[in-house]
Amino acid sequence: MSTILIIADHRDGQLSTATRKTVRCAADFDADAIDILVLAEDGAEVAAQAARLSGVRRVRYVNHPTHAHPMAATAAPQIVAAVKAGDYSHVLGSNSSFGKDVMPRVAALLGVAMVTDLMHVTGAYEFQRPTYAGNAVDTIVAPADRILVATARGASFEPAAEDGDAELEALSLDVELPTHTRFVSTDTHTSERPDLGTAPRVVTGGRGVGSEENFRVIYDFADHIGAAVGASRAAVDAGYVPNDMQVGQTGKIIAPELYICFGISGAIQHLAGIKDAGTIVAVNKDEDAPIFEIADYGLVGDLFEVIPALTRAIG
Ligand SMILES: Cc1cc2nc3c(=O)[nH]c(=O)nc-3n(C[C@H](O)[C@H](O)[C@H](O)COP(=O)(O)OP(=O)(O)OC[C@H]3O[C@@H](n4cnc5c(N)ncnc54)[C@H](O)[C@@H]3O)c2cc1C
């Protein structure tokens, strides 16, 4: 019997797509019940969004001032208290920054190991996950006599449908919170463009773009086709773009319907981030670049000539 608690990811009052995908992952467990826990300063609105997700039994929300700026150190003890109070067998989070931060603490406080990046669920305690930068797939069998803590790989699941009507419950937890960690400030890169993690179209640039100024051609082309913008690690390390735009093993793992990359060679660490992309289009001036081995469409050419031509052709 599996009773699953999903830890909601949300920002600015909006439930994240990553959580919708985690709910879809949970459905594959053939669970007896799927509940969602929302930790927020005032979680009623996010909880109402979560309650619409298909297959969810109950959404529990905890209002607490510490959640105005979510911190793993204070969230984890509250999650553990909710897990124990609800007698859950599984605790799932998404593989977002917050999920990757908080879920190991939850596992540690529960005294169990955790499984990261579930990409395929084959039983209540049997899963597949990528390893070696996505070049191999592990099958994991977890012990059924312990609470299972895991994160779901967003790129592997569709978002849950929104035709549900789960029960809402305000939860009050009596937990002593650690005082060794406090919120200081947030420094985020804001963008009007679609979100890189969830956009159906993504355009990226690599070291071949050459400079921060040159990256303008990548932004303009992305805006022309309504795409999110990403980059290789070499482009990030060279300072062309901020590091939250990095795609790959140590960046964002994405699964857009269309992925177009310019001046990216196709190192395995980059490919680890785009394995689940639908159609991959690569433009590179080196016909031997490894990216062409995995591209559905490849164009050998100088990106500074190809992009204006593509823009004109698209109209
Ligand atoms: C532990 C570890 C983790 C890593 N994680 C990541 C990660 O998450 N993401 C990631 O991307 N990398 C990651 N890397 C780095 C990775 O190994 C590569 O170094 C990096 O992906 C290379 O980036 P690039 O393709 O932009 O640069 P390069 O490999 O230098 O390729 C640039 C390409 O641009 C082409 N080019 C140049 N000028 C033009 C032009 N005018 N028009 C068209 N093409 C042009 C060249 O032919 C070349 O193929 C990681 C490495 C390690 C060791």
In a domain, 175, yes or no: no
Pocket test for ligand 1, best of 270, 271, 291, 310 (most atoms within 8 A of CB): 270
Q: Do 7 and 91 meet the contact criterion of CB atoms below 8 Å apart?
A: yes
- Domain match, 165 and 303 both: no
Q: Which domain holds residue 237?
A: 201-314
Tokens of residue 24, six digits: 């879809």
Give the CATH number, domain containing residue 243. Answer: 3.40.50.1220
Task: Please identify, by atom number, the ligand 1 atom nearest to the C-alpha of residue 207.
Answer: 26
Which of 218, 260, 264 to mutate to test ligand 1, by most ligand atoms within 8 A of the CB atom?
264
Cα-Cα-Cα-Cα dihedral of 18, 22, 23, 29, to 10°?
170
- Whether 226 is in a domain gets the answer yes
Angle between helices 97-110 and 72-86 (to 10 degrees): 60
Residue nearest to atom 6 of ligand 1 (CA): 269
From the CA of 154, how far away is ligand 1's center (Å)?
24
Query: Whose alpha carbon is nearest atom 41 of ligand 1?
Result: 302
Q: Is the per-residue pLDDT at 188 higher than 80?
A: no
Task: Specify whether 158 is located in the same domain as 232.
Answer: no
- Determine the pLDDT at residue 155: 87
**Residue 187: which pLDDT band, with cuts at 50, 70 and 90?**
confident
Does position 190 have pLDDT exceeding 80, yes or no?
A: no
Q: How many helices (H) and strands (E) does the chain have?
A: 9, 17
Cα torsion through 212, 214, 219, 225, rounded to 10? -160
Do 80 and 119 lie in a common domain?
Answer: yes
Burial of 175 (0-12, 13-18, 19+ CB in 10 A): middle
Number of domains in the chain: 2
CA of 158 to the centre of ligand 1 (A): 29
**116 shares its domain with 207:** no
* Residues 149, 236 within the same domain: no
Tell me what percent of the residues of the chain surpass a pLDDT of 90. 86
CB 303, CB 285: distance < 8 Å: yes
The neighbour count for residue 226, using CB atoms within 10 Å, is 12
Neighbouring residues of 290: CB distance < 8 A, sequence distance ≥ 6: 265, 266, 267
CATH of the domain at 149: 3.40.50.620
Strand partners, 6: 36, 92
- Reported as a pLDDT band with limits 50, 70 and 90, residue 230 is very high
**pLDDT value at residue 132:** 85
pLDDT exceeding 70 applies to what percent of the chain? 100
> How far apart are the CA of 233 and the centre of ligand 1, in A?
6
Tracing tokens 């920054």 back to the chain, one arrives at 97
Average pLDDT over residues 251-264: 95
Residue 66 lies in a domain: yes
User: Three-state SS for 271?
Assistant: helix
* pLDDT at residue 56 greater than cutoff 80: yes
Return the ligand 1 atom nearest residue 250 CA: 8
> With a 6 A CB cut-off, is 250 part of the ligand 1 pocket?
yes
In a domain, 195, yes or no: no
Same domain? 209 vs 261? yes
pLDDT at 135: 83
What's the pLDDT tens digit per position in 67-89?
A: 999 899 999 999 999 999 999 99
Judged against a pLDDT cut of 90, whether residue 245 lies above it is answered with yes
**Residue 141 pLDDT greater than 90, yes or no:** yes
Going by C-alpha positions, the residue among 193, 197, 112, 201 that lies closest to residue 150 is 112
Query: Quick check: 134 pLDDT over 90?
Result: no
Q: Which of 170, 191, 220 is a domain's end point?
A: 170
Specify if 46 maps to a domain: yes
- Residues 60-64 have a mean pLDDT of 95
Whether residues 78 and 138 fall in one domain: yes
Asked if 125 and 16 sit in the same domain, the reply is: yes
Tokens of 43: 């979680």
Mean pLDDT of 293-304: 98
- Please give the average per-residue pLDDT across 153-164, as a whole number: 93
pLDDT at 159 over 80: yes
Q: Does 49 fall in a domain?
A: yes
Question: Quick one: pLDDT band at residue 149, thresholds 50, 70, 90?
Answer: very high
pLDDT of residue 191: 79
Q: Which two tokens stand for residue 147?
A: 């609470």
Tell whether 24 and 96 lie within a shared domain: yes
Give the pLDDT band (50/70/90) at residue 43: very high
**Residue 177: inside a domain:** no
User: What's the pLDDT score for residue 254?
Assistant: 93
Domain end: 170, 185, 218, which one? 170
Predicted confidence at residue 292, as pLDDT, reads: 98
Regarding beta strands 33-40 and 58-63, do their DSSP bridges make them parallel or antiparallel, or are they unpaired? parallel
311 lines ligand 1 (CB under 6 A): no
Indicate the pLDDT class of residue 198, thresholds 50, 70 and 90. confident
Residues 153 and 292 in one domain: no
Based on the domain organization, do 163 and 27 belong to the same domain?
yes
The confidence score (pLDDT) of residue 189 equals 74
Q: Is 275 within the bounds of a domain?
A: yes
- Arithmetic mean of pLDDT over the chain: 95
How confident is the model at residue 315, as a pLDDT? 84
- pLDDT, residue 97, reads 87
Residue 55 pLDDT: 96
pLDDT tens, 8-30? 999 999 999 999 999 999 999 88
Residue finishing a domain among 149, 170, 191: 170
235 with 149, same domain: the answer is no
Rounded to an integer, what distance in angstroms lies between the CA atom of residue 46 and that of residue 10?
7
